[in-house]
């Protein structure tokens, strides 16, 4: 990407989009275009067509999505599949119509089968049954991957897809019901600490294993791949290491400074037993993460305190 190229970051107010936006500005890209959801409804086909026709972006980071944790995914199943397919379909198609030089689509590690071998290789897509709780969201993301592949195959469009592992960081979603596990735990332990609650109950058994990547590392990887990767097959972005939910909870408990008890409600769903990304393909290209989990949680907690307390 040329430093003065017009770059559209879709979803620039979300955790992922804002990290990409800030990364581009730090790297000296001077013509970054954004729109808030009030200014542009990405679910509206006509509005997206008008935006692309008038702005003519040269590069697109497709980070806009309806996202949430296990409760939100399982509760708002129709919303998750409809809104995500609408958003990404409108943007990908208009990127083709308006001859965008390159588009990067952000998927999710939940695209992989529930019981896929570990670590998750890119080749494991569509080799088994998805996890039920987030199946609609996963299917929407798979549709986005296949759209990028199809537009590349039929039209020669340089559309690439990346699959990040579980993310956390600056501008995360701390909603008590709709957030992902790591920010949800930060909020829960902080509120328990400030309210002197003697016990924090965690959903599930605590045994599932998860991998976590800090948002600024993801942004760095996305800009790196936009400049260095042009293949049809999507590529995983992660750290290549995972941790149990129990150990994650204990780490956050320590960082927050909560001194009460920790118990697990095994009647609640665990979700996929393990989700560890195989990132050997990304490492071979020359990119690796920089922020370790404990350091990242401390940064995220400080951001939570600054913006929500």
Identify whether 262 is part of a domain.
no
DSSP string across 94-138: HHHHTT-SEEEEE--GGGS-TT--SSB-GGGTTSSPPPGGGHHHH
Q: How are strands ordered across the β-sheet holding 274-275? A: 243-244, 209-210, 274-275
User: What's the pLDDT band for 70 if we cut at 50, 70, 90?
Assistant: confident
Residues 222-259 have pLDDT tens digits of 999 999 999 999 999 999 999 999 999 999 999 999 99
Task: Please check whether residue 255 is in contact with residue 209, taking contact to mean a CB–CB distance below 8 angstroms.
Answer: no
249 inside domain: no
Q: What's the Cα-to-Cα distance from 89 to each of 83, 141, 201, 300, rounded to whole Å?
A: 10, 11, 40, 32
Give a yes or no: residue 296 inside a domain.
no
Q: How many domains does the chain have?
A: 1
107 is in an annotated binding site: yes
Active site residues per annotation? 137
**Is there a domain that residue 165 lies in?**
yes
pLDDT for 191 equals 96
Residue 80: CATH number of its domain: 3.40.50.720
Domain residues for 112?
7-169+212-239+276-291
Residue 229: C-alpha distances to residues 3, 34, 53, 148, 183 (Å) = 18, 24, 26, 14, 31
245 lies in some domain = no
167 labeled part of a ligand binding site: yes
pLDDT at 243: 97
The answer to whether residues 68 and 76 touch, using CB atoms and an 8 Å cutoff, is: yes
In the predicted structure, residue 68 carries a pLDDT above the cut 80: no
Q: Does 46 carry a binding-site annotation? A: no
Mean pLDDT of 203-229: 96
Could you tell me if residue 47 is inside a domain? yes
């Amino acid at each position: 990407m040329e430093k003065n190229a017009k770059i559209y970051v879709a979803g620039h107010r979300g955790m992922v989009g804002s990290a990409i936006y800030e990364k581009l500005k730090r790297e000296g890209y001077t013509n970054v275009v954004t729109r808030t959801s009030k200014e542009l409804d990405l679910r509206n086909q006509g509005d997206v067509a008008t935006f692309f026709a008038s702005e003519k972006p040269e590069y697109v980071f497709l980070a806009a999505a309806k996202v949430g944790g296990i409760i939100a995914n399982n509760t708002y199943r129709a919303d998750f599949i409809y809104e995500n397919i609408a958003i990404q379909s409108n943007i990908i198609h208009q990127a083709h119509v308006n001859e965008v030089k390159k588009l990067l689509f952000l998927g999710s590690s939940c695209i992989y089968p529930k019981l896929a071998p570990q670590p998750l290789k890119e080749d494991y897509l569509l080799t088994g049954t998805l996890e039920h709780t987030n199946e609609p969201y996963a299917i929407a993301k798979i549709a986005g991957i296949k759209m990028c592949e199809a537009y590349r195959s039929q039209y020669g469009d340089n559309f690439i897809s990346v699959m990040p592992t579980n993310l956390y960081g600056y501008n995360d979603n701390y909603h008590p019901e709709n957030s992902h596990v790591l920010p949800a735990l930060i909020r829960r332990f902080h509120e328990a600490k400030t309210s002197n609650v003697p016990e924090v109950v965690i959903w599930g058994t605590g045994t599932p294993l998860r991998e976590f990547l800090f948002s600024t590392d993801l942004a760095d990887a996305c800009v790196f791949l936009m400049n260095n990767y042009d293949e049809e097959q999507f590529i995983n972005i992660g750290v290549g290491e995972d941790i149990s939910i129990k150990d994650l909870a204990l780490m956050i408990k320590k960082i927050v400074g909560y001194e009460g008890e920790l118990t697990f409600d095994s009647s609640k769903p665990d979700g996929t037993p393990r989700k560890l990304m195989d990132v050997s393909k990304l490492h071979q290209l020359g990119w690796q993460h920089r922020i370790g989990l404990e350091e990242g949680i401390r940064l995220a907690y400080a951001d939570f305190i600054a913006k929500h307390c």
